Amino acid sequence: MGRALVAALGGLLLLLVTACGSGQPPAPGSAPPSSTTPAPPPVAVAVSPTANATDVGPRADVAATTEGTFTEVTLTASPGGAVAGTLSPDRKRWTPNGPLAYGATYTWGGTATGPGGASSPVTGTFTTVTPGQTTRATINPGDDREVGVAAPITIQFSAPVTDKAAAERALHVRTSVPTQGSWAWLPDQDGGSRVHWRPKDYWRAGTQVDVRADFLGVDLGGGAWGREDLTTSFRIGRSQIVRADVNSFRMVVVRDGQTVMDVPASYGLDSDPNRTTRSGIHVVTEKFTDKRMISAQYGYDVVERWAVRMSNNGEFIHANPASSGAQGSSNVTHGCVNLSDADAVAYYNSAIYGDPVEVTGSGVDLSPSDGDIYDWAVPWDQWQGMSAL
């Protein structure tokens, strides 16, 4: 009976050992169970414009972004090659350094990596707009020039600008001292469009002026786009103002607040409106040691010396020995300011582009019909109203 109990206990022990195992022995030739973890998901990458976009403007919002970090981003133009760009400090955003080109196909490349180490490619293509027409522009004053305190900033377009507001939004003026000013769109006689910027009051002497016109990629309306960006950087020189009271028969030059010339002069014959020297603020634009002056109406063809142009209607400050007897006593000219040879050369040597010539006392005012720079003849409130913005 003792041996029977021992046998029963042994059978029970064998049963318990079997229950603690796998239940069934592995089938011959089967693989052991797997213990690997799931692979991390790919990191999200987004590009703008969306893939396969067409007619994209060169100044559109172009960027690649990721929830992870970029190891590399490329944008390649065909034609054109690699586009220079900048990664954000956290390496989550890439943007080009400037506007793109017209009529090109752009292809993304590169890789982004997520927190778990998984990577995703940067892919996609888009195409920029091919304009039916591009409009060229020129800017004045040019780089590194020193100009007078009345010099406007002028931009001339080679064709009419339909969307003037879009063009004006692309314009930026930065000055070394605070300067209130405004753009104004003026009538253009050359078949294009033009816009000028002037300060409310004369520039402060010594002001540094930087102008940026970001026209490339700007839709100017009517199917035309800006051809290229423009910049200029110039300096306002000393303040020199000509004060020309036609009834005084004298011309006064004030430089930096001090009178440096006060000389006899003869102005336009006031009894003939066509010969009157126009009242208003003129602007010096160019000068000539010798200038041929012709008038079919009044029958003269002469070369005058030391001629400084102050408007495009034929008004100059120049030497004229023929009117020497009238200088200082009467007005006999055809609209110019006549001086002696000595006084004319002295003024000529001192004058620069942008100097104001303030004519007062005549019976006819300076107007748009008198040339392309009549900016200071327009009251400030009216000038501001001529902005497209």
Q: In whole angstroms, give the CA distance from residue 152 to residue 198.
A: 5
Q: Look up 336 and say whether it is catalytic.
A: yes
How many C-beta atoms lie closer than 10 Å to residue 301's C-beta? 9
In eight-state DSSP terms, residue 63 is: E
Q: Look up 172 and say whether it is catalytic.
A: no
Q: What is the DSSP string of 287-340?
A: EEEEEEEEETTTTEEEEEEEEEE--TTS-EEEE-GGGTTTTTT---BSSSEEE-
Can you tell me which residue has the tokens 């009467």? 330
Q: What is the dihedral of CA 316, 321, 324, 326, to 10 degrees?
A: -50
In eight-state DSSP terms, residue 171 is: E
Can you tell me which residue has the tokens 């133009």? 77
List beta partners, residue 303.
292
Q: Which residues fall within 8 angstroms of residue 338, CB to CB, at 6 or more apart?
A: 265, 266, 267, 318, 319, 320, 323, 326, 327
Of the residues 196, 282, 334, 336, only one is catalytic, namely 336
Of the residues 196, 282, 318, 334, only one is catalytic, namely 318
Catalytic residues: 318, 336
